[in-house]
Structure formats: structure tokens, C-alpha cells
Amino acid sequence: MSPIISSGSTIQGCERFSVPADHSPSIAKLMSNYDKVPYPDFIHPATHPGNMAAIARLHGVNAPPPESCRVLELACGPGGNLISLATLLPSSHFEGIDLAAGHVKTGNSMIGKLGLSNIQLHHGRIEDWVTEAESDGERFDYIIAHGAYSWVPEEARQAILAICQLRLSDNGVALISYNTYPGWHQRQMARDIMRYHADGIEDPQTRLRHGKALLSSVAQNVPQGSAYRVALEEELKALDQANEAYISHEQFEDTNRPCYFHEFATEAASHCLQTIAEADWGDSTYEQVRPDVASALASLPKIRRAQTLDFFRRRTFRQTLLCRDSVAVSEQLQSSAMESMHFVTSSKLEGDQITGSNGLSGTVDHPVTQAAIVRLVDQYPSSISCEELCAIVDSQEPDSLATLKADLFNLVCVGLVSVSASPTEACREVSSHPRATALSREQVLLGDTVTNLRHQPIRLDDTTAHLVRCCDGQSDHASLIESMIAYAMANGGLVEGDQVITGEENLRPLVNSKMTSNLQRLAAMALLVG
């Protein structure tokens, strides 16, 4: 790799890396491919600064406050992820850059419709921002590169790390996602089969159809129960469940370079960056390994431990948080950091058993902790601060307070309670004139997925999507009922059980009886703000 400055200058003792000034053929082809097939406008919950800050602070990093931060997203696509964050954190500033002009145009259109003034999207190459970073010195508290590192040429990969090196604020946090070995060895096999069969086919849909057809044919002609067939069928199942535009880029682009975690950590270190942890809570635990193995893993150095755990899990993907290597990072979670955080859970508590929507379960045997869980469930989808939860405890019972904090810490670590460095404020009670978020009301016009107040993607059926659109804060329940009846009559009725209900005389009592519960469901989804 060549120095970015001919004299070989360094930053804090780290090498700087070059990126070509000219558009390489691979970049030009990539631009063309994304113009032909726009990338899906995915939402990535882990990229919320509140989540990134929470995990960083639990590892001893004094991450900047999410409520007033600066965020940069590299390869932002149509900007959906960043636009959602801009609506949730109005006092923060957001900038995105993407190679595809069509993506940026789509994103700017949505920004205009929402009237947002705290976000800017730029059309250009990631590499170009390295030079700009050196000249303007602009810093960002959070940098996001989700779905870019493994899927761009080498010069762009180096640019992603260089931008983090040059643009992160002193205690800033970056999130970079990438495909990983060993799990991607299996995926690579399926990708190679599909790309070989589709070689020379220009039309994206035809290419995808031919590629999947051969993969399916190979799987069907391999002995039943063999390891090879099981692996191929596993990949076919994943492909059937994935977005076609996503598959078109993930499986058919020239560049898709997975790596081992230790290789990524080494590359990051060469840019004066160090890993903090994974952005997903469950990704750093020892679940699914035996206690003796977990004990052995715990004695290993940080990078080697994480890499070994990847071998146990056949890991395919990581979302790694990084910071400057000058920042002190604790390998042990700092439970005291939770005292300034906000908690939320949709888990159910029955007796002393708590069960999460993710299928996880546990035991909560202390009455004070049980009371805290009941309070959290009652407040959902809004969050409650640690201070509020601790107020449940009688001031004369210091031992109970310590138990509550310890229990909350453990529940967060196992994924039964979520924690964030910023609060979530959602409407839990349905008002007389319900109002859905402005973003969700625009999103239902474009597809079946909306983003809620917790920065989560929610898929809606057509009828629910229409109800979201109608919740404009001006219509009362009676008006909403009339709107839904008109919608049903214009679209062939409503499905109830295994029947299709048609005709106004049948639709009216059905819509009338369901309206309150359907609005309550929107509130539970964190889609209502009034």
C-alpha cells in the first residue's frame, strides 16, 4: 500500500494510505450497477448513536452525547437509515455520501418532503473524502459504514478506515460492517456457482434467475442428507427469504471480499483504530459454547478470543465498533455506566420467569427487579431512565438497589432488556386524533416497510399501511373508520380469518370493532407520536 503523502507522513505514528485520484474501471462498473438496480433502503438499528454510545460507554469509552452529535454515513444508499436518525435526533447533524446519483436523488427527495434541515446527502466516492478530510479538518462523533467494507474495491476499503482515522472526534465511535470467515466459505461456494452460471448475462433479473436455478439444480442432484446438500439448501433458503435487489449486489457484484476478524482488526490498527466490541449485544457473549470452552476463551487476548469464538459460531457477518487507539477501552463491561442510560423491554414476566420476543428466557426472583420489569413493560415502547427505575427502591433498602442494578445489568447482557444512551419517547395511549410519524406516513407510499421511533424496520400489510397514512393528526376515530371502509370497498374487502368480508353493511361493524385495537397496535409498534 502506498503512502497518501509522498513524503510518507504519519498521523500519531500510523501509516497513511493512498487512494487513486482517477475513477478505476471497477468503480465505474459499480456506479453503473447501482444505477441499474438501486440498493434496498435498509434500516440498521445497531447504527443508532444511542446504541453505539451505550456499548462504547460500557467499555469505558466516553462517547459523545447522541442528542447533540455529528454523524457521517459512508455508502448511505438512498439515505433511509440516516433520514430516520435525523428525525429521531433533531438537534444532531447528519451527512451521508453515496456512489450512486440515483440513491442520493431519492434520499434528497424524502428529506425535502419531511422538511429536514439537519441532514445532507452527497454524491461521490468514499475515496474523495480522504483528501477533503485532510484539508477541512471536520470531525464526526459517529461514523457509519454499513454494507460497504466487504463490497468495494481495495482503495475504497482503505478509504473507509482512513476517513475514520482522520474524521473521528477524540472519543468518537465508528461502526463498520463486513462479511466474515469462516462462515462465508460456505456462502462463497453458493455465490461462485451462481456467478459462474450467470456469467455474461447483463439483465439483473435474468442473471439472478439463472444463478438460483443452477444452485437449486446442484442441490437437488447431490445425495440427500450429505453435508454438501445441507449446505446448499441452507443457502437456497436464505436466498429465498432475501430481497432480490440485495441478492443482486451481494451475490453478483465483482467484489465481495470477506475476511477473518483478526485481519480486520489488524487493518484497523494500521489506521490508529482499535476495536471496542460488536454493535449487537448478543455478538460478544459466550452463548452456544460449553462452560469449559467459555472459560478457556476468557483467558485469551481480546482479538484472539473473538476470532476463536467466530470459529465456534461459523460466523458470517460482523458489525464492529471502533475508536481511536489513544482511547482507553475496557475489556470488562463497566456496569456503572448504565446509571446514565435508558432501558426498554417488550419481554413478558410471568411469576419469576421473563421471556423475550427473541425467544430468550430467564429467572427474575427479586421483588424489586420484578417491579422494575413490570414498569418497563407497562411503559413500552417508551424507555425509562435508570434513575426512574431506581426510584422504585425504598431509600432505606440499599441492598435492594444494588440488586436491581446488578439484575438490570445481567438482563441487558443476555438480551432480555435493551439499553440506550438516549431515550425513546413514543405515544403509548391512542389519542382522539391519532398521528403517525411523518416518516412512516411517507414510507407507506413507497413500500411495505416503515421505520419506528426505536429506529427499527417494521413490515406492514397493505391495510395497516393505509391506516398509518390516514393517521395524520387531523382525523378522529370516526373519520378513520370511514376511510378504512372506503379503502376496503375499493380493494375487494378485508380478510378476517379465512374469509373475505365485502359490502359496506358487513365491513362497517368489522372496521368499527377493530379500529381501537388496530390503533393500539400502531402505538405498540412505536409508530404514533400523538
Q: What tens digit of pLDDT does each residue of 468-481 get?
A: 999 999 999 999 99
- 364-383 mean pLDDT: 94
User: Do 28 and 119 lie in a common domain?
Assistant: yes
Show the cell assigned to 289. Answer: 459454547
483-490: Cβ within 8 A, 24+ apart: 484/511, 484/515, 485/511, 487/463, 488/463
User: Do 99 and 73 lie in a common domain?
Assistant: yes
Number of domains in the chain: 4
Q: List, in order, residues 6 or more apart from 490 with CB less than 8 Å away.
A: none
Show the cell assigned to 235. Answer: 443457502
User: Do 155 and 278 lie in a common domain?
Assistant: yes
**What sign has the CA pseudo-torsion 335, 144, 63, 339?**
negative
CB 151 within 8 A of CB 126: no
> In this predicted structure, what is the pLDDT of residue 20?
43
Q: Which of 15-24, 41-50, 159-168, 490-499 has the lowest mean pLDDT?
A: 15-24
Show the cell assigned to 319. Answer: 458489525
The answer as to whether 16 is a domain residue is: no
Q: List, in order, residues 6 or more apart from 517 with CB less than 8 Å away.
A: none
Using CA atoms, how far residue 321 sits from 94, 107, 171, in Å, is: 18, 26, 12
Using CA atoms, how far residue 89 sits from 68, 95, 335, 398, in Å, is: 8, 13, 26, 36
Three-state secondary-structure class, residue 14: strand
Q: Which of 37, 424, 339 is nearest to 206 (CA)?
A: 37
> In this predicted structure, what is the pLDDT of residue 132?
67
Q: List, in order, residues 6 or more apart from 205 with CB less than 8 Å away.
A: 244
Look at residues 215, 237, 252 and tell me which one is the last residue of a structural domain: 252
**45 exposed, middle or buried (CB, 10 Å; 0-12, 13-18, 19+)?**
middle
Tell me the C-alpha distance between 493 and 482, whole Å: 14
> In this predicted structure, what is the pLDDT of residue 394?
73
> In this predicted structure, what is the pLDDT of residue 262?
98
User: Do 356 and 444 lie in a common domain?
Assistant: no
User: Do 231 and 299 lie in a common domain?
Assistant: no
> In this predicted structure, what is the pLDDT of residue 359?
84
Largest CA distance in the chain: 82
| Greater model confidence, 486 or 129 | 486
The answer as to whether 172 is a domain residue is: yes
Tell me the C-alpha distance between 313 and 282, whole Å: 12
How many CB atoms lie under 10 A from the CB of residue 297?
A: 16
CB 389 within 8 A of CB 343: yes
Tell me the C-alpha distance between 86 and 262, whole Å: 34
- Whole-number percent of the chain with pLDDT over 90: 69
With a threshold of 0.85, does the pTM exceed it?
A: yes
> In this predicted structure, what is the pLDDT of residue 16?
46
Q: List, in order, residues 6 or more apart from 377 with CB less than 8 Å away.
A: 345, 346, 347, 348, 349
Tell me the C-alpha distance between 74 and 97, whole Å: 5
Chain centroid to CA 343: 18
Q: Fill in the DSSP letter of residue 185.
A: H
> In this predicted structure, what is the pLDDT of residue 140?
97
- Whole-number percent of the chain with pLDDT over 70: 90
What would the pLDDT profile of 260-285 be if each residue is shown by its tens digit?
999 999 999 999 999 999 998 766 66
User: Do 377 and 349 lie in a common domain?
Assistant: yes
- Verify cis geometry, omega within 30 degrees of 0, for the bond prior to 45: no
User: Do 292 and 388 lie in a common domain?
Assistant: no
Domain that holds residue 213: 183-252
User: Do 99 and 175 lie in a common domain?
Assistant: yes
CB 99 within 8 A of CB 33: no
> In this predicted structure, what is the pLDDT of residue 37?
63
User: Do 172 and 288 lie in a common domain?
Assistant: yes
Look at residues 299, 324, 349 and tell me which one is the last residue of a structural domain: 324
- If you average pLDDT over each of 36-45, 204-213, 504-513, which comes out highest? 504-513
| Greater model confidence, 196 or 168 | 168
The answer as to whether 310 is a domain residue is: yes
Using CA atoms, how far residue 292 sits from 99, 101, 288, 296, 315, in Å, is: 48, 53, 12, 6, 21
Q: pLDDT-derived band of residue 17, with 50, 70 and 90 as boundaries?
A: very low
User: Do 156 and 284 lie in a common domain?
Assistant: yes
The answer as to whether 10 is a domain residue is: no
- How far is the first Cα of the chain from the last one, in angstroms, to the nearest whole number? 55
Q: pLDDT-derived band of residue 26, with 50, 70 and 90 as boundaries?
A: low
- 239-246 mean pLDDT: 82
User: Do 165 and 272 lie in a common domain?
Assistant: yes
- Strands (E) across 59-156 are located at 70-74, 93-98, 119-123, 140-145
Tell me the C-alpha distance between 256 and 295, whole Å: 35
Q: Which of 527, 453, 513, 451 is nearest to 485 (CA)?
A: 513
Q: Which of 380, 440, 528, 367 is nearest to 114 (CA)?
A: 440
Tell me the C-alpha distance between 426 and 522, whole Å: 11
CATH number for the domain harbouring residue 55: 3.40.50.150
The answer as to whether 12 is a domain residue is: no
The answer as to whether 330 is a domain residue is: no
pLDDT of 506 strictly over 50: yes
The answer as to whether 61 is a domain residue is: yes
The answer as to whether 212 is a domain residue is: yes
User: Do 66 and 131 lie in a common domain?
Assistant: yes
> In this predicted structure, what is the pLDDT of residue 395?
63
Backbone φ, ψ for residue 440 (5° rounding): -65, -35
